Chains A and B, each alone.
Chain A
Amino acid sequence: MAGTRECNSVVIAGRLSKAIEFFDAAEHLEDDMPNAAGDLFVDAGIAASDVICCVRLGVHSSSGTHSGAVSLLETADKGSETHLNTLLGLKNKAAYTHQALSNTERKKMNRAASHLVEAAKRAVASAGQ
């Protein structure tokens, strides 16, 4: 598949571990450092999406485009792509602009990342590594 990279059990385990680490760090920070937390929620969501795609398709996105990553995730786990889309849509605001994330946006990012991390864990549980 174009715009993808092959992955194996080592990649799956490593990306899942990072997804959980990023998510836990984001939750830990979110009250005091919402923008840093927002950026970490995005990292968690991307890592979790990679896990889901690796488990189901044997590849993860390497296109570097948001649409490519979202589209691949839709193929692997229909429904989850909306959560990745939410995170990627707020990534610029969290990381690259002068504006601060609102509480609503931060909560939205938490929910989206939480969904993706849980989905990644369940994908691994369903199919092994």
Chain B
Amino acid sequence: MQLNRPFATVTPTLDGDVLAVLAASEVTFTITQIRRILTTASGEGIRKVLTRLTAQGVVLHDQIGRTNTYRLNTEHLAAEPILALSRLNATFLERLQTHLEGWGEALKYAAVFGSAATGRMALDSDIDVLLVRACDPGHDGRQEDSAVWEQQVTELAGSITAWTGNDGRVIEYTEDELRAAAGEPLLREVARQGLTVAGTRAWLNRQLRPIGKAATARRT
């Protein structure tokens, strides 16, 4: 699926995209406003969709002077599932957060990054997740913990696929590895664009900052 096009899971048509706009806020929209948000749809296409949805009663149409306005009919029987569909991205992130809460203190930080975080997913995009583990199991020799961690990571990737249909691509760092790799473009991308689902972004920035500052100083 495309987390940025949640209605495409049930309909590939423009109807879904228009419903996504109407469901995102409780205001009235003109066709021009919807077109501005959707960018690639034609005004005529949007008008036809709105006419269809108005006939179904799921969209309310008003005319103020010469201006036609439209809004989601939140009292309609279909409004609840429509709103639930419009929130699939938020639901995914909430489910991921809840899932990772069970990992305890071994997990210092997690974030979704890549196309799932920037709203540019294709149908077959991987969903990238960065995990930062509290310690390196190779250093302290806690092999049992390491086995549990690996099992959790495998299950996480499987859960992401089950929830979305997309492959979950998990990138793991220990805290030490994270600090050593602070200048890597991937970690910079996570710090800027990642959607935090465990720990805090402030913590991540602190881990990456000292080496980033040193690199800047070296350049100048």
Contacts and interface: CB of A to CB of B under 8 A. Distances in A.
B90 interface: yes
B209 A28 contact: yes
Main secondary structure of the interface of B (DSSP, over half): helix
A84 interface: no
Interface in A61-103: 75-78
A30 B118 CA distance: 28
Given A27-B202, A27-B205, A122 B93 contact: yes
Contacts of A17: 192
B27 A75 contact: yes
B202 A128 contact: no
Interface residues of A, number: 27
Contacts of B118: 124-125, 129
B82 to A, nearest CB: 15
A56 B24 contact: yes
Contact of A126 (B25, B119, B205): B119
12 contacts: A8-B36, A24-B205, A55-B24, A57-B33, A58-B33, A58-B34, A75-B25, A75-B27, A118-B201, A125-B4, A127-B24, A129-B118
A55 B4 CA distance: 12
Contacts, number: 76
The 10 closest A-B pairs by CB, nearest first: A128-B119, A58-B36, A126-B89, A128-B4, A58-B37, A56-B24, A124-B119, A56-B25, A125-B119, A58-B33
Interface size bracket, B side: 20 to 34
Interface of B: 3-6, 20, 24-27, 33-34, 36-37, 39, 89-90, 93, 112, 116-120, 191-193, 195-196, 201-202, 205, 209
A103 to B, nearest CB: 16
B120 A121 contact: no
Contacts of B33: 57-59
A109 to B, nearest CB: 13
Interface in A1-17: 6, 8-9, 17
B187 to A, nearest CB: 14
A78 B10 CA distance: 27
Contacts of B6: 126
A113 to B, nearest CB: 11
